Structure 1
Amino acid sequence: MKATLYTVIALIAFAANSLFGRMALAAGYIDAWSFTIIRLVSAAVCLAIIMTVYTYRLRRQALNLGSTSYEAILNDKGSWLSSASLVIYALCFSIAYVELDTGTGALILFSAVQLTMIGWGIYKKEQLSALQWAAFIIAVVGFIYLMLPSAAVPSLLAATLMAISGVAWGIYSIRGKSCVSPLRATGFNFIRSLVAVPILLLIGMVYLDNIGLENIDLGNITIKGILLACASGAIASGMGYSIWYMAMPLLKNTQAAVVQLCVPVLAAILGVVFLSEQLTMQFVVASAVILGAVLVFILNKKTVKV
């Protein structure tokens, strides 16, 4: 039950991230580079505050109970590899998102995520039953059916960046299986990411035009863009990724990969609700296929580890 609850909340947070990004970047309220920087900083600040209160209460409990059982939690401070994966994912996603159609970006991103996480699961000897393989294939077909009409031939740079983003997110998710304290691990991962902020600012303000992208223009950053970036960072990323790290130890790598195919469906639903986007029969059919296949995959209990 916990795995289901955590996973659903995390997937909604991922979809909200897509919504915030679409609202901010597609409308031109902020550039992708600045969006990423503000997203990282706001997530780090939010999690640092929450983590400080959480750690204080944890230490009080340990002191009152005279217990050392909290040491493992207090010693969980994430890792530089996880933080680097987080920065690479966020930055590449934001840049590529501007250059790619929604369908094209989603196809490339989630293909890379699936290959990374399922490939790692197979490497770790996670076996899938025939029914699970069938459910996975059906879910992928439904996903392609949903996204393909809006897909277009991408530029090589944008496609490569989105693929790198997907691989980085797959690595970040896999790393979550070993965390003891999801909140502290996520918090420290975002705090470490702040090391990259001065570098990103320097590149964004001076060197972007050398690779065919526009430099950061502070005059074109709007209050709405900043607020959307903060919402993406503090709420959808900071809290959402913490909850995802709570779910990861309870899921197989293959399960965690497959359930993420629901994210485009949830994002599209949020788009209908909050952006008045059109609901089509194709979306209804594709959503039913994806969600049904994912449900069959998750409910099948024959996955074993040898």
Structure 2
Amino acid sequence: MRLLALSALVMVAFAANSLLNRAAVGGGLIEALPFALIRVTAGALVLAALARAWPGRANLLPALWLTLYLVGFSLAYRALDSGIGALILFAGVQVTMLAGAVMGGEQPPARRFWGAGLALAGLAGLLLPGADAVPALPPALLMGAAALGWGLYSLAGRRAADPLQATAANFLLATPMVALACLPAGLGDIAPMGWVLAIVSGAVTSGLGYALWYAVLPQLGAARAAAAQLTVPVIALAAGAMLMGERLSSGAVLACAVVLAGVALATLPRRR
């Protein structure tokens, strides 16, 4: 029961990142890139404290992928609803990791390719005019870039000897990269609640959420971890509808179902 409760808490934290980002950036409380900068800075400080040591040598490439995720994620939520954004992100990450595994010499079973194809078909359905889910192509492409960044970051993280130390180091290294992206426009006007939402997203739902995920992941195992992550877009869709008044058309609901079915086929193990 304790493991189930902790796992559920982590999934809520992951979904909350989408809700917080959408509420802050989509609500005009803060610009997208300053939100990303405050988020990564708060997350870096919390993760460094949790690691109980200043992280040592870090690899530049994973930090670069993390920066791509953070920047694309925030920019996409200027227009996307929280649930749709989480769905595009989650499906894109699975497809990216599958492609990375193949390029790395692995031979995934055929059902993973079928699942990835089904998820991509569902994502294409979200872009159809009748679905009324994605206002324009650029926000979807930005979230696709975020998915690519997080997928590559996750692939790189599989080789980390100490995941918590590595994550803290990557967040610290990504902070100046995100700051560079903010330089052309500056921080701009930030409402007090914009600061609060960005700090909570970085320190709590990202920093503490990722640390808790590393703690429960070994106990869950790969199969249950994959199943648990399937709930993240569902939580984001439901919370976005209840808390933020986001609505989905019947076409969008069908496309979402296709995406989730494809991701489930690609990630969940086949029963013997």
Please indicate the TM-score interval, normalised by the length of the shorter structure: 0.7 to 0.9
Aligned residues: 265
What whole-Å deviation, never above 9, does each CA across 1:25-80 have from its counterpart, x for those lacking one?
A: 1111111121111101111122222222xx5xxxxxxxxxxxxxxxxxx9886522
Q: Does 1:154 align with 2:154?
A: no
DSSP-derived class of the 1:204 partner: coil
- Distance of aligned partners of 1:39 and 1:112 in 2 relative to their CA distance in 1, 3 Å threshold: same
Secondary structure of the residue aligned to 1:191 is helix
Which position in structure 2 is the counterpart of 1:174?
A: 155
Deviations 1:135-182 (A, max 9, x none): 555555556656743124424xx5554433222111111112112322
Is this contact kept in 2: 1:140–1:261, CA < 8 A? no
Q: Does 1:298 align with 2:264?
A: no
Q: TM-score, structure 2 length as denominator? A: 0.75
1:116 to 96, 100, 122: 96
Aligned partner of 1:242: which letter? A
Greater radius of gyration (CA): 1
TM-score for the superposition, normalised by structure 1? 0.67
Q: How far did 1:15 drift?
A: 1.4
Matched to 1:96, the amino acid is A
- Give per-residue Cα distances to partners, 1:227-252, cap 9 Å, x unaligned: 11111111222123335556499549
Q: Tell me the equivalent position of 2:49.
A: 49
Q: Sort the Cα spacing of 1:49 and 1:251 in 2 relative to 1 into closer, same or farther, 3 A.
A: same
Code of the residue aligned with 1:300 in structure 2: it is: R
Matches of residues 220-299 of structure 1 in structure 2 within 5 Å?
Answer: 221-244=190-213, 247=217, 251=222, 262-278=231-247, 294=263, 297-299=267-269
Residue in structure 2 matched with residue 60 of structure 1 by the alignment: none
CA-to-aligned-CA distance 1:111-154 (integer Å, 9 cap, x gap): 64344211111223443444554455555555665674312442
State the secondary structure of the residue aligned to 1:150: coil
Q: Which runs of 5+ in 1 are unaligned?
A: 56-73, 206-215
Q: Which runs of 5+ in 2 are unaligned?
A: none
Q: Which residue of 1 aligns with 2:14?
A: 14
Give the 3 Å change call, closer, same or farther, for CA 283–76 of structure 1 in structure 2. farther
> Aligned with 1:127: secondary structure?
coil
Cα RMSD of the aligned pairs, angstroms, is 4.1
The one-letter code of the counterpart of 1:298 is: L
How far did residue 24 of structure 1 move? Answer: 0.7
Moved more, 192-201 or 164-173: 192-201
User: Residue 81 of structure 1 aligns to which amino acid in structure 2?
Assistant: L
1:217 equivalenced with 2:197 (yes/no): no
Q: Per the alignment, do residues 154 and 139 of structure 1 end up closer, same or farther by CA in structure 2, a change over 3 Å counting?
A: closer
